[in-house]
């Protein structure tokens, strides 16, 4: 019994000592550059950025001196700051709003692009303020080369032929849990065709509490892997074209059709690349 008691105390000390909730060392979310433990076993990573988005980081212009930019290059409406607000929890994005790390001229801001050539890991700590299957919170990446100038043209297939990869880290409202997708787009504008991965049945999520949604693109193995709160969600093949581009991320509050009001709240975004 004594040996068992010693074993139990040692085990609990190890568990509690490794848990942020019980640790005496406070971790600053906005400066934590430690790689995610669920990738340490097979990939050595270095931090590209750790970023807590703020309202005053958002620009409606075409400058390159901000971290985030309202609107998308394909939007026809003039961007406005009316969709965005700030709370202690993070940046709030109301229904209809979206921000990216490139401006509407597809020029990057202060945050670096994620290189497809080496691969990358990205994670979002986010929630929504009400739960409905109509809500479509979206956290995704597109190549900066896919723009109004069509820098993603593949001339071997024709002068107007475009070919690119989109990586959706998570999108809400398609099922009750995480929903991550890698999409291969190709064709002559505007008649694109797409192919994408199948989705496993995901565990139910209460999206009104914060979750960490993450994905790792590996161009060497040709795969994308997703996790939610550090738990493996899915792993699928990725299109070869993905390695040719450099990626920016977008965060938006969309709808599946009913336009039920809500806000997407993003506390933190982190990105890592292989060493």
Query: What percent of the chain clears pLDDT 70, i.e. is strictly above it?
Result: 90
Residue with the larger pLDDT of the pair 6 and 103: 103
Check whether 159 has a pLDDT greater than 90. Answer: no
Whole-angstrom Cα distance, residue 25 to residue 14? 15
pLDDT at 22 exceeding the cut of 50 = no
| Residue 191, CB-side half-sphere exposure with 13 Å CA sphere | 3
Q: Distance between CA 108 and CA 41 in Å, rounded?
A: 33
Using alpha carbons, select from 198, 199, 106 the residue that is nearest to residue 144.
Answer: 106
Question: What's the mean pLDDT in 106-113?
Answer: 97
The three-point CA angle 179-272-242 to 5° equals 60
Per residue in 33-54, pLDDT tens?
Answer: 999 877 767 788 999 999 999 9
Confidence at residue 155, expressed as pLDDT on a 0 to 100 scale = 66
Predicted confidence at residue 156, as pLDDT, reads 64
Burial class from Cβ neighbours inside 10 Å (0-12, 13-18, 19+) for residue 165 reads buried
Q: What is the mean pLDDT of the segment spanning 56-75?
A: 94
Q: Which residues lie below 8 Å from residue 42, measured CB to CB, with a gap of 6+? A: none
pLDDT for 14 equals 36
The first and second tokens of residue 214, run together, are 């993450």
How high is the pLDDT of residue 5? Answer: 40
Nearest 5°: the CA angle 233, 238, 241 is: 150
Could you give the domains of the chain?
37-274 (2.60.120.200)
Q: Which residue shows structure tokens 């990057």?
A: 108
pLDDT per residue as tens digits for the range 165-207: 999 999 999 999 999 999 999 999 889 999 999 999 999 999 9
Which comes out higher in pLDDT, residue 148 or 270? Answer: 270
- The Cα-based distances of 16 to 39, 143, 262 in angstroms read 21, 41, 36
Q: Is the pLDDT of residue 17 over 90?
A: no
Q: How far apart are CA 253 and CA 129, in angstroms?
A: 11
* Helix and strand counts by DSSP (H, E) for the chain: 1, 17
């Amino acid at each position: 019994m004594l040996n068992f008691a010693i074993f139990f105390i040692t085990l609990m000390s190890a568990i509690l000592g490794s848990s942020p909730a019980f640790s005496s060392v406070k971790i600053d979310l906005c400066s934590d550059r430690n790689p995610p433990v669920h990738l340490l076993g097979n990939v050595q990573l270095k931090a590209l950025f750790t970023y807590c988005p703020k309202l005053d980081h958002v620009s409606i212009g075409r400058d390159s001196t901000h971290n985030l930019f309202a609107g998308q290059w394909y939007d026809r409406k003039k961007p406005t700051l009316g969709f965005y607000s700030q709370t202690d929890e993070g940046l709030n994005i109301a229904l209809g709003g979206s921000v990216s790390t490139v401006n509407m001229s597809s020029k990057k801001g202060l945050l670096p692009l994620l290189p497809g050539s080496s691969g990358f890991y990205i994670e979002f700590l986010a929630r929504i303020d009400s739960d409905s299957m109509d809500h479509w919170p979206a956290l995704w990446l597109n190549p900066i080369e896919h723009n109004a100038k069509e820098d993603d043209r593949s001339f071997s297939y024709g002068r107007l032929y475009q070919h690119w990869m989109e990586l959706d880290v998570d999108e809400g409202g398609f099922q009750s849990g995480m929903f991550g997708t890698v999409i291969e787009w190709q064709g002559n504008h505007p008649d694109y065709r797409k192919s994408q991965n199948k989705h496993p049945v995901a565990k139910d999520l209460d999206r009104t509490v914060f979750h960490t949604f993450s994905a790792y693109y590996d161009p060497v193995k040709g795969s994308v892997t997703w996790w939610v709160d550090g738990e493996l969600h899915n792993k699928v093949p990725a299109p070869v074209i993905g390695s040719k581009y450099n990626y920016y991320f977008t965060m938006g509050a969309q709808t599946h059709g009913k336009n039920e009001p809500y806000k997407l709240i993003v506390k933190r975004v982190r990105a890592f690349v292989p060493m």
